[in-house]
Amino acid sequence: MTPELEDLFSFLRFPSVSTDSRNAGDVRDCAGWLIGKLQRMGLTAELHETPKHPVVIAKNAHRPDRKTVLIYGHYDVQPVDPLNLWTTPPFEPEIRHGRIWARGATDNKGQMLAHVLGVEKTLKEHGELPVNLIFLFEGEEEIGSPNLAAFLAEHKDDLICDVIAISDTGMVAPGMGTLGYGLRGIACCEVKLTGPERDLHSGLFGGAVANPATAVARLVASLHDADGRVLVDGFYDDVRPLEDWEREMWAKVPGVSDADFLKVTGSPGLFGEEGYTSAERTWARPTAEVNGIGGGYQGEGSKTVLPAEAFVKFSFRLVPDQDPADILAKVEKHLRAHCPPGVKIEVEIGHDGKPYVVDPHSKFGLAAQSALKMAFGTEPVLIREGGSIPIVQTFRDILGVDTLLLGLALADAQIHSPDENFPVENFEAGIRLNQALLTELAAV
Ligand code: BES
Ligand code: ZN
């Protein structure tokens, strides 16, 4: 195995699941491993405490005559459940069919380490970097980066830079270098409906008291019309329409046709807002999603019970110029207004992140495009993204700097799902890409 793959395997073995407090020590150990790696490369690397998981900052020696590039990544990962659907254990990386299989292989450890190893290679080859570099790695991206905005505000003076680069997004097809110029935002909330003081016999009391599980279903149903449009009052007020040039450009992007969406999802059919392709629906239109729903008896066979409570977890994907706080206020109003009678409703507001869009033809955008061309040998494809990286718009708000999204995640990487994987060739291309990127950004 190459030393690069050995590093990646070591990195992947940390179960750095940010959402689970039982893994807090593993998240910290993973940050510690990174510090060691970055210091061995000759960078100054420091671990910064936050109220939860640490931030890692590393730098080379800065010179006033060079561009400053901030590279961001996250070393935390999503939970692994359902564990029984993994072919091999999620934190015991393995290579099969040219791909690395492990939680975090693509999202984001593989892509993040490609940044690190691209820098290491450049340092080895040239003794120094053509730019001033700041690495900023966090351990809380998968829980909405709750402490990073405060960290940025506090350390603003140490993070002054000209441009930010991130590999934590998608690539439309193998070998097709992809520049992302937009991300959807996100806003989460959870609803609990409470009925009788305990689970009841559904024969003795059913029909006489409201059933919280039925009420949850009605509440969920109130969110969309039959064609998939969101019915929350004012939900679409601030949605920026798609532009003609991007619709035309996206129509020619390989790997994202409706047929491709059907194939990669294994779904029996597509469904979404009328008048848009799947790519347009996911990259440029907002949604309301149920991420989890429950209540009542879940065991084998039937149990005639009228549950005492039921819940649903929602997330809303947002597009420019929707504001997460405004959307959550509108959603809460809708949920309270549509809550069926006879149950008590509690709405708990969760994390959020703003949507982002940037000009892909700016001077830094063009530099990123030529780096992609150098690494992949093909004309780069320009897309927006359906996923969210909450800190990206915050970088713009606090540091005043735009972000280049150089994605290496394939549609079938199974990020957030069992059997997450990352092609070895993407890892290697990512290392080349980062070497080229430093050169191209230095020349802007
Ligand atoms: N890397 C993903 C986001 C992503 C993946 C964007 C592929 C575009 C293409 C990121 O780690 C992620 O999953 N973000 C979460 C954020 C949330 C938990 C606040 C998301 O989008 O669900
Ligand atoms: Zn993720």
Q: What pLDDT is recorded for position 105?
A: 98
Q: What pLDDT is recorded for position 393?
A: 98
Atom from ligand 1 closest to the CA of residue 186: 19
Q: What pLDDT is recorded for position 83?
A: 98
Atom from ligand 1 closest to the CA of residue 188: 19
**Which pTM was predicted?**
0.95
Strand pairing category for 287-295 and 309-318: antiparallel
Q: DSSP letters of 217-249?
A: HHHHHTTB-TTS-B-STTTTTTPPPPPHHHHHH
Task: With beta carbons less than 8 A apart as the criterion, state whether 139 and 31 touch.
Answer: yes
Q: Is 76 a catalytic residue?
A: yes
Distance CA 81, CA 314 (A): 19
pLDDT of 77-99, one tens digit each? 999 999 999 999 999 999 999 99
Distance CA 326, CA 238 (A): 10
Q: List the chain residues with pLDDT less than 50.
A: none
Measured by CA distance, the residue closest to atom 5 of ligand 1 is 169
> Which ligand sits nearest to residue 19's alpha carbon?
1
Burial bucket for residue 28 (CB in 10 Å: 0-12, 13-18, 19+): middle
User: Structural domains in the chain?
Assistant: 3-183+356-442 (3.40.630.10), 185-239+286-353 (3.30.70.360)
Task: With beta carbons less than 8 A apart as the criterion, state whether 290 and 423 touch.
Answer: no
Q: What pLDDT is recorded for position 67?
A: 98
Q: What pLDDT is recorded for position 97?
A: 98
Task: With beta carbons less than 8 A apart as the criterion, state whether 437 and 118 touch.
Answer: yes
Rounded distance from Cα 378 to ligand 2 centre (Å): 27
Marked catalytic residue, from 26, 138, 140, 141: 141
Structure tokens at 302: 């039937």
Distance CA 180, CA 1 (A): 32
Q: What pLDDT is recorded for position 221?
A: 98
Task: With residue 171 as reference, give the H or E element that holds it.
Answer: none
φ, ψ for residue 219, nearest 5 deg? -65, -45
Which residues on neighbouring strands pair with residue 442, listed in sequence order? Answer: none
Structure tokens at 74: 């996250």
Rounded distance from Cα 168 to ligand 1 centre (Å): 8
Rounded distance from Cα 262 to ligand 1 centre (Å): 21
Place of tokens 């069926």: 340
Atom from ligand 1 closest to the CA of residue 386: 8
Rounded distance from Cα 66 to ligand 1 centre (Å): 32
89 sits in the region (left: phi over 0; alpha: psi -120 to 50; else beta) called beta
pLDDT above 90 coverage of the chain, percent:
100
Distances (CA, A) of 189 to 251, 288, 311: 34, 11, 11
Distance CA 367, CA 443 (A): 8
Q: What pLDDT is recorded for position 317?
A: 98
Q: What pLDDT is recorded for position 341?
A: 98
